[in-house]
Structure 1
Amino acid sequence: MIRALFICFLTIFSGTSVGAAPVPYALDVKDSEVVFFYTLGGRENRGAFSVRNASTMIDLQDVRRSSLDVTISTNSVRAGDPFVTLALKGPELLATGKHPEARFVSKRVFPTDLGVRIAGDLTLKGITLPVTLNALFQRRANAPTDNSELILQVTGAVPRASFGVTGFPDLVGDMITLRFVVHLVRE
């Protein structure tokens, strides 16, 4: 699987013209979301946010010239249990009434053996901290040579307490695993 993803990554970043510049990509809102995983009572659980908007510039010739700016609506948070969803929106956790958005803005993108790393600032609950995420650009399965539509899969982890999300420490683990799935269409 990793080999197949790496080959897909190499295919995307080869065959582009020399001197290419960053190209703007628009967000496909209906297919994009931020998924997160957290430990509750010792068991892993899943939640998700809707992506509100994204500003994305991608240079397939030199990914270092790419940038990503993603905003989510914290009030869109949903978990499998309605009580957990309500708690997530409350003041002990996300305080969505006071902090209706979270945002990630890239500062630096650089290639790795299996994709790219994106270093940037994550703002959550009014606190902005640097984070580094791993990413993989993929084409849609039905368009293996077409760069007009891309899927950006971003993964990483953040300590929730660092962002002031400190409620229920005896029940909920500190590390939150993130997975952004952003569907992009070349403008």
Structure 2
Amino acid sequence: MSTATLTGLSTGTWTIDPTHTEVGFVARHLMVTKVRGSFTEVAGTVVVADSLADSTAEVTIKTASVATGTADRDAHLRSGDFFDSDAHPDMTFRSTSFDGDTLVGDLTIKGVTKPVTLDVEFGGVATDPWGNEKAAFEASGEIDRTEWGLTWNANLEKGGVLVSEKIKLVIDVQLAKQA
């Protein structure tokens, strides 16, 4: 994707609109079903530069805001077995490159920073009824959770594990242009 295909996206600082943004994930449970979750507290900024390659994104996600629809599972994810939300309340993402199709950056979880690559799709730009300029992006990728120290698991009697190591990331972001 070239800069020309980001029609309407103006330079400047954009902030994440948390009420219209979802940072989600999908894991396999028992190696046969998918469990979906998301984080309800997300904040960050995107600075769109004249040259798309010079644009940056910084995102902070509150690990205690993890939500899968099951209170016991959410509590387990917040525990030391996974995110250890008391000791590590935030996970962060800082971009290192963006070409319009691919966003590369450093993801930090539990004090461990590793590079991740996300495929990006530009959704467009619109003005809401109150005159605010908004932009939307979708991003997706896959990580191995064990690389960040998220290693808890249980072996299954007939082989396999309870929770997949590979986690799909599914992100829908709405940005608001700052004046």
SS at match of 1:53: strand
SS at match of 1:168: coil
What is the 5 A alignment of 1:11-26? 12-14=5-7, 22-26=11-15
Q: So what's the TM-score if we normalise by structure 2?
A: 0.84
SS at match of 1:68: strand
1:39 matched to 2:28? The reply is yes
1:177 matched to 2:173? The reply is no
Q: So what's the TM-score if we normalise by structure 1?
A: 0.80
Q: Spell out structure 1 runs of 4+ moving beyond 6 A.
A: none
- Conservation of the 8 A alpha-carbon contact between 1:12 and 1:139: no
- Conservation of the 8 A alpha-carbon contact between 2:102 and 2:119: yes
The one-letter amino acid of 1:139's match is G
1:167 matched to 2:152? The reply is yes
- Conservation of the 8 A alpha-carbon contact between 2:127 and 2:134: no
Q: Using the alignment, how far apart are the partners of 2:36 and 2:103 within structure 1?
A: 23
Pick aligned residue for 2:95 from 78, 90, 106:
106
Structure 1: which 5+ residue stretches go unaligned?
1-5
Structure 1 residues 92, 64: CA separation in 2 closer, same or farther (over 3 Å shift)?
same
Match of 2:79 in 1: 90
- Alpha-carbon shift at residue 15 of structure 1 (Å): 6.8
* TM-superposition CA deviations, 1:144-177 (whole Å, max 9, x none): xx99211121111110000000112521010111
RMSD (Å) for aligned C-alpha atoms: 2.5
- Alpha-carbon shift at residue 11 of structure 1 (Å): 6.9
- Alpha-carbon shift at residue 62 of structure 1 (Å): 3.6
Structure 1 residues 90, 29: CA separation in 2 closer, same or farther (over 3 Å shift)?
same
Q: Using the alignment, how far apart are the partners of 1:64 and 1:30 within structure 2?
A: 28
Pick aligned residue for 2:43 from 24, 49, 53:
53
Match of 1:3 in 2: none
- Alpha-carbon shift at residue 69 of structure 1 (Å): 0.6
Match of 2:157 in 1: none
- Alpha-carbon shift at residue 14 of structure 1 (Å): 4.4
Structure 1 residues 41, 64: CA separation in 2 closer, same or farther (over 3 Å shift)?
same
Match of 2:158 in 1: none
Aligned length: 169
Structure 1 residues 139, 14: CA separation in 2 closer, same or farther (over 3 Å shift)?
closer
Match of 2:53 in 1: 64
Q: Using the alignment, how far apart are the partners of 2:73 and 2:8 within structure 1?
A: 47
- Conservation of the 8 A alpha-carbon contact between 1:33 and 1:51: no
Q: Using the alignment, how far apart are the partners of 1:148 and 1:141 within structure 2?
A: 6
Structure 1 residues 151, 134: CA separation in 2 closer, same or farther (over 3 Å shift)?
same
